[in-house]
Structures are given as C-alpha cells and as structure tokens.
Structure 1
C-alpha cells in the first residue's frame, strides 16, 4: 500500500523547474475585440489555435471559443479566462501538444505555475475536454483556479485536477469515465485555503473524488454515483498528513463498479466514502446508499489507517447525521486504528463494530 495513491502526480513534479515555453511564431487565428478596463476578448473559431490566442493575450483577457472542435494541449501561465459556449465547444488531442513541451504531455488544458509564483485567477468554463491521455484540465501551483460547467469525458487519469494549489473552485462540472484515477482531484497542499468542490456530477470513474495529502477542502452538493468509489480521502504518509476537510450534503450512491488494482491504485469496488487515514475531517449530512462490495474497505462510510509504512490512524474525524442505508457489507465501518472518531446521529442499520448507528 505504500504507493497506493502515492506518486500519482507522476511527472508533474518536474514542472517547478521549467522555464516558460515560447511557441513558434505565427499569426493567431483570433478576432480581438476591445473590452472595458483594458481587458480584451479574443474570439477563436473552430479549427484555429487556442494557444496562439493565449500567447497573444494580456493578463486578464478572455479567450472566447465558438462551438466546434479545437486542438487541446493548451498551456496557460497567466491570468486569463478561456470560455466556450457549452458542451459543443470541444477540445480533443491534436497535432501540437504545448503542455508536452512544458513537461506535461497528454493534457487538455494545463495551468502551470511555480512554487513562489503560482498562476492566479485563471478561469476555464463552458467547454468540453475529451479523450486526453492524462488529464482534461490540470492545475499545478495555481491560486483561485476556477473550472466550471466543464464536461470532462474519457480522459486517461483525471478529469479535472489541481496539485499544490490554493483556493480552487471546481463547480457544476460533469466528469465521466476518467480511466485510471479520479474524476476530480485535489492534492499535495498543506493548506488548500478553502478549495471548493461543489455541484459536480462524477460517474464511471475509478474514484469520483480523490483528496490526497491535502487540508482545508470543502466538498458539498455533488453527485458521486456509479464509480468504483465515491469519495476517497488519503493520508499517503507524507509529512503533514490529510485532514480538516468538510464533506457534506453529497449524494454518494451505487458506486459499485469494479476497478482492478494497478500501480499505484489498489482494487476498488463498492465504497461510498473511504478514509485511508486523515484527521479532523467532517463527514456530515450526506446520502450514502447502495454501495456494495466484497473488499475489506467496501461499504457505506469506511475508516481505515493511512498507507504504509506510517499507517497513521484515521483520527478525530466526525461522522454525523448521514443517511447511510443499503450498503454492504456494512453501512458504517470503523477500522481506523483510533478510538477518537465520533459517530453521531447517522441513519443506518449495520455497522462494524456494532453500535455505530
């Protein structure tokens, strides 16, 4: 279990030392419209280069995409808005992958900063990212990255993900069939400073949402259904652990797909909300129903220790007022390695050990 969810960052670690990428010169396929307060709107037509518009734009500008198909692999290093007109604005793999030239191949849109200079106030909205080998929308060293009303479908690792980032907003997205890891991901940050995951729908993924080695994330009003696991919170053994996250009023139901183990992810099947370690998390007022499996950590809401070799217990977590019914083998499972977790007012029928309902 040492590498269970650990090192899923992959080559992202290399980004911090990269110099800014400068694409080959060429005429941008944009129409530039002056806007208020010096901001400009760059209109990009189907088949033309989003990257050229991004390179040409000044901080604060808007890249407006029409309905149609565009090449992905778009690299963003400045404050911008990239906005489509809905799911008919589609980014898919193309001939030029600008994220690859910055060390991040296989991304739809990559927003890449540095440890001392995060990219701030980037917004990605009203578009679709499909069929990318790695991740649909990736943020690395960002602050206030907003991803909203995005359809992320059939991407290889993650649908929408941010690493080492603060104050992100993932809202009203639809994430389907992200192959190896999770539909939505927040991780590798000691204090996410209230990153919000709200109003999203995630289905057909290995994990609907994965929070790994992160604190102070707020998750509410989402639908995590028909994944292998709905929500997974992981202490992967790194210094600082995982915790202080708030999970409330989510629908976490029928996450019964079968995901075979593959490095670095273990087998997953039939779990609603799963804590591998972590402390001071609040799991409150969620609907967790009909998650059924036969793995040691299958069930409704399940607490286990973190990954080896530290095996830190899941401790001081509050599990309160959840509607947890029809899960198997149990609605509530506490194998956390700690007696400090609190279970109060949950509506459930079965638990291990007995007496948690």
Structure 2
C-alpha cells in the first residue's frame, strides 16, 4: 500500500468517526405507506410527510381522499386496477366526499399544495368530480382513469404549472379534463405558468378538454373521440383575456355525441376545436376529421364569440389537417380582428376561401 493510499484511508476514517460521513438518520428517509383494500387511504395520507409515497394495492376502495400536504405521491401498483368509488356512508367531516368528489388536492391562497403526484388510479362514479384540485403548484396527474363522474373527470382551478399526461377521461357528465382560473367568481384569465395537457385519451364526455379563462398553457398530442365537443377554449371580456396558449398535434375525430343546450351554450354535436373569446392562441398541426353536427358550434375548427359577446382576436390557425367536418372544416363565425388561417388542408370553410 502506498503512502498516498494510507493517508487517504486515515482521512476517511477520521471523517466517519466525526459523524460527517455517516448515513442520514432514519427519520429523514422517504417512507412508503402501503394500503390494501379494506384499509383507510386517508389514514395513510394523514400520517405521511412531504416526500412520502402512499402505495395502493390493486382492488376497490370505497372512500374519498383529501391531500393537503405538499410533496406526496399517491399511486396504485399500475399492473392491476386500483379503483376509488364513493363510500356508502361518508364521514360527517369528510369535506371531499360531501362535495361529491373522489380525490381532492387542496391548498390555500397563502399555502398552495406543491409537487403532489397522483398516478395509476381509477376514479369512478362520483357525483361531482373524479379528481378536484384547488390552489396547487406543479400537481402531476398521470395514468389516471376518470370515468362516469357527474361533472368533471379531472378538474383544477386557482393553480399553476400542473401536468396532466397519459390519462383516460371517459363518460363524464361535463368535461373529461377541466382547467380554469376559478369556478366561483368572475375575474380575468390567470397565468398557469406553463401547465401542460398531453397524451390523454378523451371519449364519451360532453366536452373532452375545457380550458376556461387561462393563459400560458399547452394542449398537445391528445386523442379525443365520441364526445359532443373535443376541445373548448373559453374566454370573456375580462382582463387579462384568455389565450396566449398552444393547441397542437392533437387527434380529434368523430366527436358526434349529441348533448342538450345549457344556460350558456347551445346544444353540442360535432365540434372539434372551438375558440370563444380568446386571443393570441396558436392552433397548429392538429388532425381534425369527421366531426359532424348542426349546432352553431359544429365544425372542425370553429371561432365563435363568447356567451357574453367577447370576440376572438389575433389567433393563428395554421398547418392543420381538417377534413370531412360539418357544417364546415374551418368556420370563423365571429367578427373579431386579426385571426389568421394559413397552410391548412381542408375542404369547406365559412366564409369561403380559407381552404
């Protein structure tokens, strides 16, 4: 052994003896809380600390769950289904269940819940929403199936930098995926700081994806079929205006389910991508085909003034394949200024001349 090796070993021994090179204490390690059907998910969530994972064994859990701690991961095994359904008799203090939701991730204005991950779960049959999130930052929802819920499959408000990828939302009463500034107040659009909705499958809903009064997000590489409408971007006259977002490379086909009118919208059928009251939005490289209906909102890519009369302005619709849609492939049914249609492959437009 050389003198240099001996000196190195002596130095290492001194560091270990002093405690500087010792392993971190057990209390600082991430804990995995394992839950089986019949056990309480909520009890495990309440016991978890930031960085912990709650791992759910396959099976059916009859409860709603509320997450208010940052840094948690809630996930199923991912091989066999892990399903949450409504409890027969929720506890009196279970606010998430009483609101009709399956999974709630909720913070406050002063203390948003940060970096929560929800993965590999099915949320089925809740009266309101499968997943409801409010006041979150960097929420990740991945490989979640939200089906047969009364209003929204996966929904978020008052939040930033959310990522929603590789989920399935089907047969929900309203939108499969719903992102909004807020659902209980009138105010201008908020900046999501780069939220992303990508690689999701959306079918059988009233609307596949609704983005309401938001700015700075991306909707890309999603597959939407069998809904009444595939993608709705909703704004109004408030400031800042909704928009400054990107919708690209989505496959939107045969969204021909018929849905009755509501107090705010006419009946829906055969709507691909609809912009209402939005600005500075890029709609590019999407494939929008075979969406057919006779609603004022029917068509492949449609610009329509919002229900309060706000116009679309300075939106760029380009390089899309938009074919066999009715009553038109491209339809500008608005009088807003600065909207451009260029490089699209289409057959019929309203007004004529955009194909």
- Do Structure 1 and Structure 2 share a fold, with TM-score over 0.5? yes
TM-score scaled by structure 2?
A: 0.87
Q: 1:82 aligns with which of 74, 82, 90?
A: 74
The 8 Å contact of residues 67 and 85 in structure 1, kept in 2 or not, is answered as yes
Unaligned runs of 5+ in 2: 1-24, 182-188
Higher RCO by CA contacts (8 Å cutoff, separation 6 or greater):
1
- Range that drifts further, 170-179 or 65-74: 65-74
Deviation at 1:103, TM superposition (A): 8.7
Q: For residues 240-285 of structure 1, give each alpha carbon's deviation from its aligned partner in whole angstroms, at most 9, with x where no partner exists.
A: 2210110000001101000012345542111100011100000000
1-side partners of 2:155 and 2:318: how far apart? 28
User: 2:16 matched to which residue of 1?
Assistant: none
2-side partners of 1:144 and 1:275: how far apart? 26
User: 2:354 matched to which residue of 1?
Assistant: 356
TM-score scaled by structure 1?
A: 0.86
Unaligned runs of 5+ in 1: 1-33
Q: 2:106 aligns with which of 108, 112, 115?
A: 112
Change (3 A) 1:239 1:73: farther
Q: The residue matched to 1:269 in structure 2 has which SS?
A: coil
Q: 2:141 aligns with which of 121, 130, 147?
A: 147
Deviation at 1:143, TM superposition (A): 0.4
2-side partners of 1:77 and 1:98: how far apart? 18
User: 1:165 matched to which residue of 2?
Assistant: 159
The 8 Å contact of residues 227 and 255 in structure 1, kept in 2 or not, is answered as yes
User: 1:313 matched to which residue of 2?
Assistant: 311
Q: The residue matched to 2:213 in structure 1 has which SS?
A: strand
2-side partners of 1:336 and 1:35: how far apart? 63
2-side partners of 1:160 and 1:132: how far apart? 11
- Determine if the alignment matches structure 1 residue 58 to structure 2 residue 12: no
2-side partners of 1:104 and 1:147: how far apart? 23
- Range that drifts further, 257-266 or 91-100: 91-100
User: 1:268 matched to which residue of 2?
Assistant: 268
Change (3 A) 1:266 1:51: farther
Change (3 A) 1:262 1:306: closer
Greater than 4 Å deviation, 4+ residue runs: 34-37, 97-100
Deviation at 1:100, TM superposition (A): 4.7
How many pairs were matched up? 321
- Determine if the alignment matches structure 1 residue 92 to structure 2 residue 85: yes
User: 1:15 matched to which residue of 2?
Assistant: none
The 8 Å contact of residues 229 and 271 in structure 1, kept in 2 or not, is answered as yes
Root mean square deviation, CA, Å: 1.8
- Determine if the alignment matches structure 1 residue 184 to structure 2 residue 182: no
1-side partners of 2:215 and 2:354: how far apart? 26
- Determine if the alignment matches structure 1 residue 340 to structure 2 residue 338: yes
